[in-house]
Amino acid sequence: MALELKQIEKVVGRDVHIHPTDLVLEPGSFNILLGTTLAGKTTLMQLMAGLDRPTGGSVHFNGADVTGKRVQDRNVSMVYQQFINYPNFSVFENIASPLRVAKLPETEIKRRVGEIAELLKLSAMLDRKPSELSGGQQQRTAMARALVKDSDLVLLDEPLANLDFKLREELREELPKLFGDRDCVVVYATTEPTEALLLGGYTATMHEGRVTQFGPTGAIYRNPKDVISARVFSEPPINTAWVVKEGDRVALGNVAAWPAPDVLAGKPDGRYQIGLRPHHVLPLRADAADVPVAGEVLVTELSGSESVVHFKVGNETWVSLAHGIHAFDVGETAELFADMRHAFYFAPDGGLLAA
Amino acid sequence: MNKQINQKAWLFVLPVFILVAFNALIPLMTVVNYSVQETFGDNVFFWSGLLWFQEVLTSERFQNALIRQLIFTFSILAIEIPLGVAIALTMPRKGPWVPVCLVLMALPLLIPWNVVGAMWNIFALPDIGLLGYTLNALGFDYNFTSQPGDAWFTLILMDVWHWTSLVVLLAYAGLVSIPDAFYQAAKIDGAGSWAIFRHIQLPKMKRVLTIAVLLRFMDSFMIYTEVSVLTGGGPGNSTTLLSIDLVKIALGQFDLGPAAAMSLIYFLIILLLSWVFYTVMMRNEDQ
Amino acid sequence: MAQITLDKIRHSYVETPSKEEDWVLKEVDLVWEDAGAYALLGPSGCGKTTLLNIISGLLHPKQGRLLFDAEDVTDLSPDQRHIAQVFQFPVVYDTMTVYDNLAFPLRNRKVDEATVDKRVREVADFIDMGHRLDERAKGLTADGKQKISLGRGLVREDVNVIMFDEPLTVIDPHLKWQLRSKLKELHQRVKRTMIYVTHDQTEALTFADKVVVMNLGEIVQIGTPVDLFERPHHTFVGHFIGSPGMNILSCEPDSAGARFAGGTVATENRLSAGESGKRIELGVRPEFVRFTAEDGLPADIVKVSDAGRYRIVETRCGGETVKLLVGEGDEIPADGARLAFDPSNTRLYADGWLAGEGR
């Protein structure tokens, strides 16, 4: 059951919420919308679901135009960031509610609720009310309700955002398994690049109401189409800077210079942008080819197994992410080593330069 | 914008239009019609222009009723709003007493208006009423049926008793919606109870208080039943408020023209003052 | 500025606690040094917010004493304790400007206007609000409001401790790291005791010099971020800190360490005398497991998740799930995979607690 958006657009007053967008989501696929809070993820989901009407373009399901079809008449489920359950229904009744609407026989309801509850580890608490559950269990109940009815389209809008860190990790692992053998289209919105990577599937990076890039998650991460997509898909933020190519050398202000890479061979001299992920900038020299970059340290964050150093490079703030503990004092001038062989090179207009 | 959506929307609004037309617009137009004509019944009408408006506005009787009305309304606002907020502040915010307090507060609001008037009439009678008798026993010369001051005192007391609860309930709703963190932060910042009231509770109650003031203003400006039952506008004309006067003219004297003109003026005054209240209270809201 | 001592603090929300389960705080005994950056880390319901409220004076403990330096403050009200707190949801006084918000705690304490002005301007520059002093606080974004809440704590010279209760909950994810850096920087500059309460390990470990990990109303470990990562004192700490958490595997104790999955695993610690009868587990972080070509524990690969700069490989080994991290360029064997655990980072746990250490 493929979902297809054709030149879909949403304009409210003078504000463009979604610029004309084309997107094809395959049946049985797990799709992630990745972007910051106001990137347009929720709006796009509402357009997909039929909760909101596009001001231009159309939505197609299995080739049929469903643009004007009401959400009640489509087979859609949705899970929200807030745990939304019926407070005075038991967990069983909560999960069963979409089946009751569909007027399924009692035995069939029992069977399906039992199955999905087993899958989501809710079997032991079917008689309880949502208020007697932990946050994680409440969100599992909401998910069970969304999954029990065999929807064609399942939308999850930052479903893990309100959960404790460890619960998030646990549910994130279970999620792709839940959809494993279904042929529905799953769309999952998140603000966190790491979450997108771990969930796998396909990712659409979003920025200011546009889908900037769409494809298999790992491929999108490794081959950002332009500087914006690279920024959206990096945590901590990707290090960027303007560099100048002169002959066979590339220079970053007077901070650093290194041999021009193959992608710049044959390109005219002048200004280019680079993007270098934080784990390719390290406090220790790992390779003779690494380029030293010195700058004033703004702060060092330690997170157990890793150190994150924020420091100034020219006019930019760069971040280094390294295994182990590397503490620098605030204000100290530190020398870090950039592995420029992993850098992305972008044309002045932001597009990736491919080799 | 999509045209189709707009047309559908109009269809949905249509029933409301029809309803409003029947219970507001058509009667209003009838009143407008009466206010510019002279009639002696039998469906015979003469055009009189703005004569009635002129007459009403310059009549001492109207002016006096309006002044009485304004005094009444501002007195009860001045008492009920602060008193309501004060009571709301003393009510418990959690625990078993919350429902008890709420029910107690809601009680006066559940009593029909004419019953309230009758109750207070008997309650305040100087010979057999509990209030009237007690006041006289304490040495006050109290008789609301003969002394204008006492009539006013009783009238305002009755309104305060009847309607302060509404302000309490609204203010209370505003208060309980304030998250605990605000109180905790204020304690830590060393704020006293006045500062907490001034900088947290009052600003957070502002919207509901605006609604309370508007409701109480409009209701008190249109008060009729209780006053009519309690004092009938007397003694003399001392408690003849606008609505009482209006009914006297329209139904007592069948002066439909002047009564209609007076109704419209009355209506415009309420509209104007409501707007002024609203604008003043919401002044800082969008800055 | 003060050293904070929690002396045998216990708390219960039940009027007369009778059973052990009635206590939400079992017994907390702890000293926080002056000017330290601490974090209280644990899952929801572990008692960390209760403890925070006891320190701030919003809650009176059922038992025990709280000392700021040598002074017993157990019975003092929040404002007498000279503390500051930043809440989960930003608290600003809507009717006031940024300036008046920052001045509020000082004016309440009758500080003269000249001093107020000086302090407010200093602090406003500190929190990058110097140019927005005349704006109404109501119109600020969530991170702006949180900065104001923080600023109200900083303006007072007499503050003993600044506490943070999940302060980044409402902040946009892509702004979080900036605020984290800001807090860290602030601590390094103002040198006040700060306590940061959170369920998020990254936030705790990034902010704090010392992290107090709590579970089920008691402290399970106090340590530097490195301690918690490298030498967890309890399997809970191993599991809770690190993503993915530590592998915790049932095993049989052995003279060299442990028997697991048909092989011998060397461990860094040994069981002490009284521990042999207890439930014995092996703890090793995914970072310290690798594929080996030589002798190793046979394992089947179940799943590979791509985290970008590394991959998380889930395997079945000896009837248990063992996860390991594999770097960007490194190979994952197609079949016949064998695992090796780093002996200096593989430990035995008895009934959940680090073996040989006692409790």
3-class secondary structure per residue, A27-85: CCCEEEEECCCCCCHHHHHHHHHCCCCCCEEEEEECCEECCCCCHHHCCEEEECCCCCC
Chain A residues with a Cβ under 8 Å from any Cβ in chain B: 53, 55
Structural domain of A209: 3-232
Q: Is residue C42 part of a domain?
A: yes
What is the pLDDT at residue B285?
Answer: 57
Would you call B5 and A53 a contact, using CB atoms and an 8 Å cutoff? yes
> What's the whole-number average pLDDT of chain B?
82
Instruction: Give helix B148-176 / helix B113-124 axis angle, nearest 10°.
Output: 130
The answer to whether A2 and A24 have CB atoms below 8 angstroms apart is yes
Examine the pLDDT at B20 and tell me if it is beyond 70.
Answer: yes
Residue C23's nearest CA partner among C31, C14, C32 is C14
Q: What is the pLDDT of residues B202-237, one digit of tens each?
A: 888 888 888 898 889 888 888 888 788 777 777 877
Q: What is the pLDDT of residues C97-148, one digit of tens each?
A: 999 999 999 998 888 999 999 999 988 988 888 888 998 888 888 888 988 9
Residues C86 and C47 in one domain: yes
Residues A47 and A192 in one domain: yes
Residues C320 and C208 in one domain: no
Please state which CATH number belongs to domain B57-281: 1.10.3720.10
Examine the pLDDT at A63 and tell me if it is beyond 80.
Answer: yes
Examine the pLDDT at B3 and tell me if it is beyond 50.
Answer: no
What is the pLDDT at residue B1?
Answer: 40
Enumerate the residues of chain A whose CB falls inside 8 A of the CB of residue C307.
194, 197-198
Q: Is residue A354 part of a domain?
A: no
Tokens of A24: 């094809």
Instruction: Please state, for a pLDDT cut of 70, what percent of chain A lies above it.
Output: 99
Burial class (CB in 10 A: 0-12, 13-18, 19+), B78: exposed
pLDDT tier at A355, thresholds 50, 70, 90 = low
Write the CATH number for A276: 2.40.50.140
Residues A248 and A341 in one domain: yes
Q: How far is B280 from chain C (nearest CA, A)?
A: 15
Residues C58 and C115 in one domain: yes
> What's the whole-number average pLDDT of chain A?
89
pLDDT tier at A11, thresholds 50, 70, 90 = very high
- Chain A neighbours (≥3 Cβ pairs under 8 A) are B, C
Tokens of A1: 């059951």
Residue recorded with tokens 């703005």 = B50
Residue recorded with tokens 């330290």 = C36
How much is the average pLDDT of A238-264?
Answer: 91
How much is the average pLDDT of C12-38?
Answer: 86
Tokens of A143: 């998910």
Q: Which of A207, A232, A257 is the last residue of a domain?
A: A232
Cα separation, A167 vs A172, whole angstroms:
8
Examine the pLDDT at A197 and tell me if it is beyond 80.
Answer: yes
Write the CATH number for C70: 3.40.50.300
What does the DSSP assignment read for A183-218? Answer: -SEEEEEES-HHHHHHH-SEEEEEETTEEEEEEEHH
Would you call C243 and A325 a contact, using CB atoms and an 8 Å cutoff? no
Q: Is residue A126 part of a domain?
A: yes
The answer to whether A178 and A160 have CB atoms below 8 angstroms apart is no
Residues A143 and A118 in one domain: yes
Provide the pairing of β-strand A56-61 with A64-65. antiparallel
Provide the pairing of β-strand C4-12 with C63-68. antiparallel
Examine the pLDDT at A190 and tell me if it is beyond 90.
Answer: yes
Residues C48 and C183 in one domain: yes
Q: How far is B10 from chain A (nearest CA, A)?
A: 18
What is the pLDDT at residue C89?
Answer: 85
3-class secondary-structure state, position C280? strand
Residues C278 and C143 in one domain: no
Residues C59 and C150 in one domain: yes
Tokens of A271: 């200004």
Q: Is residue C322 part of a domain?
A: yes
Selected for mutation to probe chain B from C52, C108, C155 (highest B CB count within 10 Å) is C108
Q: What is the pLDDT of residues C326-348, one digit of tens each?
A: 988 788 888 889 999 999 999 99
Write the CATH number for A131: 3.40.50.300
The answer to whether A299 and A331 have CB atoms below 8 angstroms apart is no
* A124 lies within 8 A of chain C by CB: no
Residues C225 and C248 in one domain: no
Residues C265 and C121 in one domain: no
Enumerate the residues of chain C whose CB falls inside 8 A of the CB of residue B184.
56, 58, 78, 85, 87
- A287-346 residues touching C, CB cutoff 8 A: 298-305, 308, 310, 321, 325, 330
3-class secondary-structure state, position C289? strand
Which residues, at least 6 apart from C276, have a Cβ–Cβ distance to it below 8 Å?
A: C253
The answer to whether A297 and A320 have CB atoms below 8 angstroms apart is no
pLDDT tier at B77, thresholds 50, 70, 90 = very high
The answer to whether C211 and C205 have CB atoms below 8 angstroms apart is yes
Q: Is residue C359 part of a domain?
A: no
Q: Is residue A353 part of a domain?
A: no
* B44 lies within 8 A of chain A by CB: no
Write the CATH number for C247: 2.40.50.140
How much is the average pLDDT of B9-14?
Answer: 78
Q: Count of CB atoms within 10 A of residue A326's CB?
A: 18
Tokens of B187: 């304690």
Residue A39's nearest CA partner among A23, A57, A53, A19 is A19
Number of domains in chain C: 2
Residue A309's nearest CA partner among A291, A284, A286, A290 is A284
Q: Is residue C237 part of a domain?
A: no
The answer to whether A80 and A68 have CB atoms below 8 angstroms apart is no
Provide the pairing of β-strand A344-346 with B45-47. unpaired
Residues C187 and C281 in one domain: no
Residue C301's nearest CA partner among C333, C329, C345, C259 is C333
Number of domains in chain A: 2
Q: What is the pLDDT of residues C207-221, one digit of tens each?
A: 888 999 999 888 999
Structural domain of C282: 243-354
Cα separation, A35 vs A232, whole angstroms:
6
* B3 lies within 8 A of chain A by CB: no
Tokens of B59: 């009549």
Q: Which of A232, A259, A285 is the last residue of a domain?
A: A232
Residues C312 and C333 in one domain: yes
Cα separation, A18 vs A149, whole angstroms:
30
What is the pLDDT at residue C286?
Answer: 93
Enumerate the residues of chain A whose CB falls inside 8 A of the CB of residue B3.
none
Would you call A55 and B5 a contact, using CB atoms and an 8 Å cutoff? no
* C293 lies within 8 A of chain A by CB: no
pLDDT tier at B2, thresholds 50, 70, 90 = very low
Residue C101's nearest CA partner among B180, B197, B186, B284 is B186
Would you call A302 and C205 a contact, using CB atoms and an 8 Å cutoff? yes
Examine the pLDDT at A150 and tell me if it is beyond 60.
Answer: yes
Examine the pLDDT at A248 and tell me if it is beyond 70.
Answer: yes
Would you call B199 and C95 a contact, using CB atoms and an 8 Å cutoff? yes
How much is the average pLDDT of B160-189?
Answer: 88
Instruction: Give helix B202-221 / helix B256-281 axis angle, nearest 10°.
Output: 180
Q: Count of CB atoms within 10 A of residue A95's CB?
A: 30
Residues C102 and C214 in one domain: yes
Q: Is residue C186 part of a domain?
A: yes
Tokens of A233: 């898909």
Residues A192 and A250 in one domain: no
Structure pTM? 0.78
Q: Domain map of chain B by residue range?
A: 57-281
Would you call A304 and C181 a contact, using CB atoms and an 8 Å cutoff? no
Q: Is residue C295 part of a domain?
A: yes
Residues A146 and A243 in one domain: no
Residues C216 and C252 in one domain: no
Residues A27 and A150 in one domain: yes
